[in-house]
Amino acid sequence: MEMNINQIDTTTYQQIKAAITSKDSVVGIDAVHTHILIINKLMQIEEQLQKMQQQLNALPK
């Protein structure tokens, strides 16, 4: 599945940008904070997938 960055609405884009921007960083973002956000989201996705798998496993075969 390909993600198209242009599908993000402007408000969400600006919120994400504000959350990861760092004036103290040479590259303009706080890498640690950015990675924490990404890892947290991945953990949420993993939890959702596990719940879905449990629901699928509970279905009659």
Would you kindly state where each structural domain of the chain is located, as residue ranges?
A: 30-61
Does the reported pTM lie above 0.85?
Answer: no
Helices 10-20 and 31-58, packing angle to 10 deg: 120
pLDDT of 10: 87
Looking up tokens 């504000």, which residue turns up?
Answer: 18
The overall average pLDDT reported for the chain is 89
Is 29 buried (19+), middle (13-18) or exposed (0-12) by CB count in 10 A?
middle
Encoding tokens for residue 7?
A: 């599908």
Which amino acid is present at 45? I
